[in-house]
Amino acid sequence: MGLCRSIKNDIKAAFDHDPAAVSTLEILLAYPGFHARQYHRLAHTLFRWHVPVLPRLISHCSRFFTGIEIHPGATIGEGFFIDHGMGVVIGETSVIGDNVTLYQGVTLGGTSQQHVKRHPTLGNNVVVGVGAQVIGDITIGDDAKVGAGSVVVNSVPPHATVVGVPGRVVAMRNPDTDTVERLPDPVGERLEDLEKRIAGLEKRQPPDKKEK
């Protein structure tokens, strides 16, 4: 795909995912996620050409101006959108599919110090919520959603919704019928049961009488 068409896809992604976007000029001038993506285009190209130092320098400048750190080695697909973006970190061996949306504070991190694939792979149409941490060489399937503040250390199937620490699948969407099936949440159910027990004990316990 040509560069101009790819940049147009980035602009379209901003309009599609951010209702506050009002004009192309605004996106070009005032969207740090868009700017970080363009910095990365250049850095990634130089990285693939094995140019020393310069790709990391460009990435460093991008972090300084946008608050977003994308390693030059990361592979990013079309229609990528970072909303707000401050604090987003994308590691070297991360692979991001098409039409992926990340919100501020997201980390695509690694767990190994070896020169191997150690960062996540995100499929197409994935959404990762505010402050979520996706760690290690795992795969987030197409159309999956990661809830805000989640810590995901295991692979996630397509069309799933993941929340919590550690992240667990709480819902699955059927793409054929566009219906969502809520899955049992043993941890949440246990906490709810404990809350009910505590409320019952409080009702049974007579209020303390004030000393006269």
- Residues serving a catalytic function are 115
Closest alpha carbon to 119 in 134, 130, 132, 105: 134
Closest alpha carbon to 42 in 61, 24, 55: 55
**CA gap 56, 211 in Å, rounded:** 71
**CA gap 59, 44 in Å, rounded:** 9
**CA gap 156, 160 in Å, rounded:** 7
* Cβ-count burial 166-185 (b if 16+ within 10 Å, e if not): ebbbbebbeeeeeeeeeeeb
